[in-house]
Structure 1
Amino acid sequence: MPEISRFFSIRITMYYDEHRPPHFHAEYNGQKAEIDIRSAKVIKGALPNRQLKLVTAWAIIHQEELLENWNEIEKGTGNVRAIDPLR
């Protein structure tokens, strides 16, 4: 489960053995959510409103990079790259 980004105490990860739809995991202060890459909406779990807004904005900005990582996971290459955090 590589960490691909971290910002404002929010940890973003993607797992190597994943299910569809394309998504990533966000964790903040023990709360977790799975976020759909294409829609930037929560699939499962929850985050506090402020952190969810930050994650959503980050996901929209980095959608292409997230999809590239997802494609690498599906190919089984393990070439998941870090993505710049929000600043």
Structure 2
Amino acid sequence: MPTLMRFANCKIAMYADDHQPPHFHIEGRGWRVLVEIETLRIRAGDARQADEAMAWAKDNTALLVESWNRLNRRS
């Protein structure tokens, strides 16, 4: 699972050949959040500790889409 960006308390990662809809993971020590790329809707987890990562994702949606398409060629 490639790490796309690291922050002080978490990282943004994406799995290859993952399930739909296109999404990414924010992972910190002992917690994980699954976020839909298109809407930035939290699909699982608690994003209270992920403000910095969510702000980055909002500003880098095109990079997230590009990464999803590169890693998930089957879908």
TM-score (norm 1): 0.76
Shift in Å, 1:18: 0.3
* Structure 2 partner of 1:30: 30
More moved, 8-17 vs 60-69:
8-17
- Whether the 8 Å contact between 1:26 and 1:33 is mirrored in structure 2 is yes
* Structure 1 partner of 2:64: 66
CA distance in 2, matches of 1:53, 1:9: 10
Identity of aligned residues (%): 35
* Structure 2 partner of 1:56: 54
Paired residues, what number?
A: 74
Runs of 4+ in 1 over 6 A off after TM superposition: none
Identify unmatched segments of 5+ residues in structure 1: 77-87
TM-score (norm 2): 0.86
Deviation string, structure 1 residues 27-79 (Cα, Å, up to 9, x no partner): 122110101111112111223x2x33222211110000000001112226xxx
CA distance in 2, matches of 1:20, 1:75: 12
1:65 aligns to what SS in structure 2? helix
RMSD of aligned residue pairs (Cα, Å): 1.4
